[in-house]
Amino acid sequence: MERLSESGEIDLYYGDEAGVALEPNVPYGWQFGDEEVSMPSEKGTGINCFGLLTRSNKSWMATSEEKIDAAFVVEQLERFSFSLSKLTVVVLDNARIHTGKKMRERIGAWQGRGLFIFICQHIHRI
């Protein structure tokens, strides 16, 4: 898929969800033993994002103050599928919201518009 993308035959996007909040959550950090580290914090509403990104930094995203669920992802991929100019592959991890019934029900319609979903079964973090 990377070679097809590099040659311009397809568009290849990688997608996932992320959340950002004013109240930091740092499960670990690195600092010198005598160094005091702090992060400013404020209470407030966070924002969640479903984003698609190419290796050339072309992006497509949608945000919500609500929790991102399968219905939200399906709705955004539906909108995205109407904007395509060539065959497009979206690579997602195998999170439940990417593999559930709501996603499977839309695959045929998306493929008819040139959008193909590729689910990675094993993600190796480095």
CATH 1.10.10.10 describes domain 2-119: no
Task: State pLDDT tens for residues 87-97.
Answer: 999 999 999 99
What is the residue extent of each domain of the chain? 2-119
What mean pLDDT value characterizes the chain? Answer: 90
Residue 57 has pLDDT above 60, yes or no: yes
Give me the sheet containing 115-119, strands edge to edge: 59-64, 47-53, 11-20, 88-92, 115-119
Mean pLDDT of the region 27-31? 71
Neighbours of 42 (CB within 10 A): 8
The letter for the amino acid at 61 is M
At 19 the three-state DSSP class reads strand
What pLDDT is stored for residue 39 in this prediction? 73
Give me Rg for the CA atoms of the chain.
Answer: 18
Mean pLDDT over 57-71 rounds to 95
- Site of tokens 């997602």: 92
